C-alpha cells in the first residue's frame, strides 16, 4: 500500500493498532455491516479514534484488512482485522447511513521495520502473555518476538495506557521513547 487512496470507510473506535497488530471486532450496527461489505473491494477500512486532539496536524488511523470472520455464539458478526499501515486522513465525510469515508495517505512508521536485535525481557514477558491469553494466541499465528519493533508495538497496543500518551508514538521517530516507556512499565 502506498500513495493516496480515496473514499475508504472509517470505523470510529478508540483502539490503538500499529502495523502488524491484529484484533477482533464485533460488528452489529447496519452502517458498519455495510462497511464490512465494502472492505474487500476497497482494500480494507480505517480504524480511527475519536480521542485524537483537534490540535493535531493531521488525523491518523490504522488501515486494516479483514483476515477472518465468523458469527459469534450470540449471532453477532465477529471479524479479525490486521493493520497493514498507518494513514493520514483527509476530506472526512459522512454518507446518508452515517458511515464515515476519508481519503487516506500512507504514513511510514517504525513498527514496519525489521530487526534481528532482541529485547529479551520484553520478548519473554510478551511471550508469556500470549501463552496465557487464548484469544491473543489464536489471533497471532505469526509472532515475531525477536523483532524489537514488533514486540514494542504489541506492548503499546496491549498496555492500559491513555490514548493521548499512545498517540505520541505514531510518529516515525518515536521508537526509542516508546521502548523506554514500555520497558519502564514492564520492569515494574
pLDDT tens track for 115-137: 766 677 788 888 888 899 998 88
3-state secondary structure of 163: helix
What pLDDT sits at residue 54? 47
What pLDDT sits at residue 144? 76
Q: pTM here?
A: 0.89
Fold of the domain spanning 4-107: 2.30.130
What pLDDT sits at residue 119? 74
What pLDDT sits at residue 67? 95
What pLDDT sits at residue 46? 96
- For the chain, 188 residues long, give each residue's pLDDT as a single digit of tens: 556 788 899 999 989 999 999 999 999 999 999 999 999 888 899 999 876 544 444 589 999 999 999 998 999 999 999 999 999 999 999 999 999 999 999 988 998 887 766 677 788 888 888 899 998 889 888 877 778 898 999 999 999 999 889 999 998 889 999 999 999 998 87
d(CA 188, CA 179): 14
What pLDDT sits at residue 51? 62
Residues in the chain: 188
Amino acid at each position: 500500500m502506498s500513495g493516496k487512496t480515496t473514499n475508504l470507510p472509517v470505523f470510529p473506535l478508540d483502539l490503538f493498532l500499529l502495523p502488524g497488530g491484529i484484533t477482533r471486532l464485533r460488528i452489529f450496527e447496519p452502517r458498519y455491516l455495510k462497511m464490512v461489505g465494502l472492505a474487500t473491494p476497497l482494500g480494507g477500512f480505517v480504524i480511527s479514534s475519536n480521542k485524537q486532539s483537534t490540535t493535531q496536524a493531521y488525523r491518523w488511523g490504522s488501515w486494516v484488512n479483514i483476515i477472518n470472520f465468523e458469527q459469534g455464539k450470540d449471532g453477532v458478526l465477529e471479524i479479525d482485522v490486521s493493520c497493514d499501515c498507518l494513514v493520514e486522513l483527509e476530506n472526512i465525510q459522512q454518507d446518508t447511513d452515517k458511515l464515515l469515508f476519508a481519503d487516506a495517505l500512507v504514513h511510514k512508521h517504525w513498527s514496519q521495520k525489521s530487526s534481528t536485535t532482541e529485547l529479551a525481557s520484553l520478548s519473554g514477558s510478551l511471550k508469556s502473555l500470549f501463552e496465557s491469553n487464548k484469544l491473543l494466541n489464536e489471533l497471532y499465528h505469526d509472532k515475531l518476538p525477536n523483532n524489537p519493533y514488533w514486540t514494542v508495538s504489541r506492548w503499546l497496543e496491549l498496555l492500559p495506557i491513555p490514548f493521548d500518551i499512545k498517540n505520541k508514538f505514531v510518529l516515525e521517530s518515536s521508537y526509542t521513547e516508546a521502548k523506554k516507556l514500555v520497558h519502564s512499565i514492564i520492569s515494574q
